[in-house]
Structure formats: structure tokens, C-alpha cells
Structure 1
Amino acid sequence: MPTSSTFVSSVLERLNHLAPVSARPMFGGHGLYVEGVMFALIADERIYLKADGENQPFFVEAGSRPFIYDRKEKPMVMSYYLLPIDIYENLDELKVWLDSAVEAALRNQAKKKPKSKLAK
């Protein structure tokens, strides 16, 4: 089920209390960005935050579960974890989760940057 623009707008309004968040449509959902870095996605009216080896245990311990989609009838597990509603409703806790996801996205982006070649 595609995500409604009303839901995306309400999420942006909430998250913009904490950081300058923008959204871009993608595959029936939306990517959420801070300063051009995707740190979360919205799919089926749910928010999933970027995880990596550093923050994934925190998300799992809190009872969060990964975003999974079917690709050619095979489940694909993504490195994004569901944001629990009780965290979403508490701005202080939401800030902690949001910062964690942005940091994971930045670490992931740093890994992908090609190393520059030294001039000879």
C-alpha cells in the first residue's frame, strides 16, 4: 500500500522539530533525508530508521524489527528498523533514535566514498 502524502506531511512536521528533514518519493514510499543523507524510509505508513552494526543492537533490544520486502518472491531484509510508536510520541526519545539513524547513515556514506588517488 503506498504511503499517503498526509502521513508524510505529518511525519515531516514532527521530525522538523528535531532536525531539518525532507522527503523524496521512492518505490511507493518515501526516503527521509537530513542534509542530503537518507537516514529513514516511510513504507506502508510506517517509519523505518537506518541501522548498522553500531546501532542495530539498540534497535533490536527495543523490540524493533527490520524492513522486509519481497523481491522476485524472495524476502529481502533491509538495514532499516521500525520506529516504535511510543518513541515517535516522545520527542526526547525520538531525538535519540533520529540521531542514531543519521549517524548510521553518515557512517554508511563514508564507507561508500571512493578514495582519492594521489597525484604523482
Structure 2
Amino acid sequence: MSVFVQSLHETFERLGRIETRRMFGGHGVWHEGRMIALVAKDTLYLKSDAGSAAHFDALNLPPFTYVRAGKEMPMSYRLAPADLFEDREEAARWGRLAYEAALRSGQPPKPKKARKTAAKAVTR
């Protein structure tokens, strides 16, 4: 895990606990079981939707895109503002916007993994 990804726990400390997990050559960032951000090449992108797009548009923050069949495909994650890394309250505000967008997406929360010790106790 990169130093950048590890630093996100501190960045979002006022939002609450986050979890990070490797995925697709980058990392996903979860809060309360919902994916609120992704990290690609040590760049943070926050979950967005029609309800939060104006905040990103006001700062001219582009979407994360990938290429599929020679065509650029935008995703529902937008570049995080640089101020977020300097101000924990600002990070919490943007984190809440991303969390709210994740809630509106209709995707179910990520199921919590049972701890191995708890699973062993059940099988005994």
C-alpha cells in the first residue's frame, strides 16, 4: 500500500473511520460500508452524482476516466480538490458529499467480513 493511500486515514479522520482496499490496480476507499473514493496512481477521486456535481463543476474537477475499446469512459468519481489535503474539516465536508452520493447510488453496502476467530467459535 502506498504512503499516499495510508495517509488518507489521517486526511479523513474527522469524517470517521475509512477502509482502503486494493482493486483494479488502484485502491478503493470505503466509509460505513460504502465506496466513497478511489485512488489511481496516487490521485484521489471522490464519488459524485447529479446531486453533488455542482460542487465539482465549480472547481473544474474532472471525472476519473478509463479507456475501453479505444473510447474514454468517465466514471462517477471526480478529482478531489487539493484543499482537502490541507484542511481536515474540508476533507470531512468532501467526504460527506461523497458518502451521500454513494448512498444515493442505490448500491448495497459492502458486507462486513466476519472475523476468523468469530467464525471458528461458531463452528465449534
TM bin (shorter chain):
0.7 to 0.9
* CA distance in 2: counterparts of 1:12 and 1:94, whole angstroms: 11
The C-alpha deviation readout for 1:16-43, integer Å capped at 9, x for no partner, is 3421100111111111001211011011
**One-letter amino acid matched to 1:24:** R
Q: Which of 14, 20, 26 matches 2:11?
A: 14
TM-score normalised by L of structure 2: 0.80
Residues 1-120 of structure 1 mapped to structure 2, 5 A cutoff? 4-109=1-106, 112=107
AA in 1 matched with 2:100: E
Query: Using CA pairs below 8 Å that are at least 6 residues apart, which structure has the higher relative contact order?
Result: 2
After superposition, what is the alpha-carbon deviation per residue over 1:54-79, rounded to whole angstroms, capped at 9, x for unaligned?
A: 00111111221110111122111001
CA RMSD of aligned residues (A): 1.5
Q: Tell me how far 1:107 sits from its aligned partner.
A: 0.7
Equivalent pairs, count = 108
Q: Equivalent pairs: percent with the same residue?
A: 42
* One-letter amino acid of the structure 1 residue matched with residue 102 of structure 2: A
The runs of 5 or more residues in structure 1 that have no matched partner are 114-120
TM-score using structure 1 length = 0.82
Letter in 2 for 1:72: A
**Deviations along 1:78-112, whole A, 9 cap, x unmatched?**
01010121232112222111100000001102xx5
